[in-house]
Amino acid sequence: MKFSSICGEATRNLVGGTSRLAAWSLLAAALIAVLAGYAAHQSAAQLRAADAFVRDGGATYVLEAEGAVSGTACRALATHPDVVASSALRDRADGVRARFLPSTPLPAFEAGPGFVDIFGSPGALDSESARRPSGFALSADAALTLGLDSGDHLDVVNSDGTIRTITVDQVYDFPDGSSVPVLGYAAISTVPSSGTFDACWLRVRTAAAHPNSPVLALARTALLGLDAGQSQISQLNGRLGDAAPGPHKTSYAASAGLLLLAFVVGVTVGAGMVHTRRLELASALHSGVRRPDLIQQHLIEAATIMVLGAILAAPVVIYLAFDGVPDPSTALPVLKGIKAATALVAGVLLGAATRAATIRESDLYAYFRER
């Protein structure tokens, strides 16, 4: 048979109901939604967990060495590919006294440029404003208490009783449960990196957030004439564990197991598609149709069924892939779902081809009696 004739026969079977297009497509859609949707959902859940880990300070580390941290060396750590942001911090003896709350000064700190970037600085008025020497930032709790937001002005009482007005350049969200809770209600003034500080803060990428990360050893280069044993580097928030969750921690066996399951299910379904029509195939062989032509015909029908099933299941898989994912542009959950769906489709095609190849013309009367 010509290939056009094979396609025409497959089309007539699909349109005429011989292939049971509707029933098999609904089953295919259900299987894709379950298997590919599960893979996508698991990947999305890992991304959400990793985002929560970073947001809550699990990927932020603090190197403490009072008066022995080089601000310039600490800032230079940000050039490392595994470091998202880094900056030095030191305590300020006098707090910030707001004019209408002079008796309860805010804890005040001085930090090198880019310190607030460690927390993502969601309330930034200008990404460069808090990096200049005059930059000023408030924690979200302090800003709420003072009724301020980025771009607002704060009247501050100086030590001599005079009033000066400063602009709030940034409002930062400080993670709960951190080892330095004082920064959750504080004011931070940006100063040049030159000079010495009390601590070097750095936020690393998710994959590098673990106790044996080389970045943590590199952070000690910010120390000035201090033995490494005299300094202490700690995780800002260890409540979520000492290593970041995420796709990089998923075992290969778990991923391969799901793909194998999808493939086996596909082989079973593909074989079932052909097995229910075994009398038709044996009859076609008896009438002189070549087996390779029959295999091609059933592969076309099976592929059409799976494409239609994939179209029906796509909204479910896409929803599960992007539900709650912090960065909707990430394609990882979708790719996980596509891999599971591909394994299922490959299994269906193999099962259909194998079963079509094993049906014998000599069993025609046996199939007729079973029917």
Decide if pLDDT at 129 tops 60. no
Q: What is the pLDDT, as a whole number, of residue 122?
A: 41
Q: What is the pLDDT, as a whole number, of residue 343?
A: 94
Q: What is the pLDDT, as a whole number, of residue 364?
A: 54
**Sheet with 232-235, side-by-side order of all strands:** 170-172, 136-139, 187-190, 108-111, 83-91, 196-204, 60-70, 232-235
Cα distance between the two ends of the chain: 28
- Ordered by start, the domain boundaries in the chain are 3-52+247-370, 57-235
Q: What is the pLDDT, as a whole number, of residue 370?
A: 60
In this structure, of 56-65, 70-79, 243-252, 344-353, the range with the lowest mean pLDDT score is 243-252
CA 298 to chain centre: 39
* pLDDT tens figures, 107-118: 889 999 888 888
- Could you give the C-alpha distances from 37 to 47, 62, 207, in angstroms and in order? 15, 39, 25
Encoding tokens for residue 368?
Answer: 């007729």
Angstrom distance (rounded) from CA 127 to CA 93: 27
Cβ contact 234:64 at 8 Å: yes
| High-pLDDT (> 90) share of the chain, % | 18
What global pTM score does this model have?
A: 0.73
For residue 371, name the pLDDT band (cuts at 50, 70, 90).
low
Across the chain, mean pLDDT equals 81
Q: What is the DSSP string of 269-317?
A: HHHHHHHTTHHHHHHHHHTT--HHHHHHHHHHHHHHHHHHHHHHHHHHH
Most confident of 30-34, 189-193, 354-358: 30-34
Alpha helices, DSSP H only, in 1-116?
3-16, 21-55, 71-76
Please name the residues in contact with 79: beta carbons below 8 A apart, sequence gap of 6 or more. none
Angstrom distance (rounded) from CA 87 to CA 344: 49
For residue 265, name the pLDDT band (cuts at 50, 70, 90).
very high
Q: What is the pLDDT, as a whole number, of residue 253?
A: 55
Which has the closest alpha carbon to 307: 25, 8, 22, 11? 25
Encoding tokens for residue 125?
Answer: 């008025």
